[in-house]
């Protein structure tokens, strides 16, 4: 049965995305990350520049190239170290791999025995330092640490055949899909900088996390069929089925309803925050919205998920009713997003 998913955010695309896609695949073929033809074919079918161009339709092309290279690194790293591995990844080995990557990020230097993934990340890091301000780079580095840490948690769960609880999963999914590492680069890719005082606003912090979780949960809905051949049960549908002891069809309906409640809260808080902040922050809010829509459009067209259902269309019509067993505002991990977070009596001087 086809289940439409609600998203009133209009689609967009970058006019140079196709040309950048060609450049990214040529670059990846030289990078050493894709030693076998099927690795490069998988990346080409994933369309990293197409996705990046839908997220940042107005980005300067040179910045789009750098961000798309990072997306390509994330896709190939995930495939080679976690997603496409035959046996569950070893948590200790994953921890060592991630620790080395963090050290490359922190020192901006390479070990003598650097792997292809370390070398490429080192290259991308130096490109980002040329484009990002110190505060922007710190935010990205923090997000990268959290993402790499979350991979160890995921590997441990997968190795032990553990399905996490809903509250725990909501918290870890904010960082577990690497989305936060890309959200922190939205203003870098766009060629502007959100004022640091705005990033300290509880509302903007919540919206940034919401965007990451929404994209992660949408990926869960769209990738679950692909993941069923593995022992990985860290997917919102599986988590809800285990949490409430319900069947998969019912869990899928529950996941969509939960996700729709989160999107509605994101849009409400986004609009209130946009009315009280300056132009740079409003551009950032628009880019986060585009990430959510771009992920849906890309997921329904890329060969990465080889999608045949259960979701086959996007609707701009809000659902007639929303009912979940546990409203997301009742979860400890994300419940604060439903608190009165929008700034009051304040407008950013950034114009």
pLDDT of residue 15: 97
Give the tens place of pLDDT for each residue, 201-248: 999 999 999 999 999 999 998 876 555 555 667 899 999 999 999 999
Neighbours of 86 (CB within 10 A): 5
φ/ψ of residue 259, rounded to 5: -65, -40
DSSP state of 315: E
The DSSP 8-state label assigned to residue 301 in this structure reads T
When computed from its CA atoms, the radius of gyration of the chain, rounded to whole angstroms, is 19
Tell me the whole-structure pTM to 2 decimals: 0.93
Of the candidates 140, 143, 136, 274, the residue with the CA atom closest to the CA atom of residue 195? 136
Output the 3-class SS for 32-43.
CCCCCHHHHHHH
Per-residue pLDDT at 350 = 62
Positive or negative, the CA dihedral 134, 194, 334, 81 is: negative
User: 114, 122 in Cβ contact below 8 A?
Assistant: yes
What percentage of the chain carries pLDDT values higher than 90?
Answer: 75
Cα–Cα distance measured from residue 140 to residue 25, given in angstroms and rounded to the nearest whole number: 24
Burial of 185 (0-12, 13-18, 19+ CB in 10 A): buried
- For residues 257 and 323, the answer to whether their CB atoms sit within 8 Å is yes
In sign, the C-alpha dihedral spanning 19, 25, 28, 30 is negative
pLDDT at 320: 63
**DSSP string for 261-283:** HHHHHHHHHHHHHHTTS-HHHHH
Helix (H) and strand (E) counts for the chain?
15, 2
pLDDT tens for each residue of 311-350? 557 888 776 656 678 899 999 999 999 998 755 545 555 6
pLDDT category at 308 given cuts 50, 70, 90 is very low
For 128-167, the pLDDT digits (tens) are 999 999 999 999 999 999 999 999 999 999 888 899 999 9
pLDDT confidence bin for 88, thresholds 50/70/90? confident
Q: pLDDT, tens digit, for every residue of 163-200?
A: 999 999 999 999 998 999 999 999 999 999 999 999 99
């Amino acid at each position: 049965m086809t289940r439409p998913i609600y998203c009133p955010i209009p689609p967009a695309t970058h006019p140079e995305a196709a040309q950048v896609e060609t450049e990214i695949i040529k670059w990846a073929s030289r990078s050493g990350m894709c030693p076998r033809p099927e690795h490069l074919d998988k990346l080409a079918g994933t369309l990293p520049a197409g996705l990046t161009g839908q997220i940042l339709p107005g980005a300067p092309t040179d910045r789009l190239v750098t961000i798309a290279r990072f997306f390509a690194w994330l896709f190939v790293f995930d495939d080679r170290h976690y997603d496409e591995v035959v046996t569950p990844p070893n948590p200790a080995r994953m921890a060592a791999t991630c620790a080395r990557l963090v050290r490359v990020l922190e020192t901006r230097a390479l070990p003598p025995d650097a792997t292809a993934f370390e070398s490429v990340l080192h290259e991308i890091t130096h490109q980002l330092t040329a484009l990002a301000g110190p505060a922007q780079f710190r935010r990205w580095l923090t997000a990268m640490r959290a993402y790499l840490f979350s991979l160890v948690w995921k590997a441990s769960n997968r190795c032990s055949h553990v399905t996490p609880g809903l509250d725990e999963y909501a918290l870890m999914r904010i960082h577990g899909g690497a989305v936060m590492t890309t959200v922190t680069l939205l203003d870098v890719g766009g060629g502007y900088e959100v004022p640091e005082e705005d990033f300290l606003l509880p509302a903007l912090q919540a919206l940034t996390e919401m965007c990451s979780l929404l994209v992660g949960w949408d990926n869960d809905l769209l990738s679950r069929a692909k993941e069923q051949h593995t022992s990985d049960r860290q997917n919102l549908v599986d988590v809800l089925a285990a949490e409430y002891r319900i069947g998969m069809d019912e869990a899928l309906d529950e996941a969509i309803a939960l996700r729709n409640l989160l999107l509605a809260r994101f849009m409400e808080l986004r609009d209130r925050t946009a009315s009280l902040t300056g132009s740079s922050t409003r551009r950032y809010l628009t880019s986060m919205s585009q990430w959510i829509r771009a992920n849906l459009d890309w997921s329904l067209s890329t060969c990465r998920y080889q999608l045949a259902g259960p979701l086959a269309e996007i609707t701009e019509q809000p659902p007639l009713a929303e009912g979940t067993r546990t409203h997301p505002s009742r979860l400890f991990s994300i419940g604060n997003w439903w608190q009165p977070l929008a700034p009051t009596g304040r407008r950013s001087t950034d114009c």
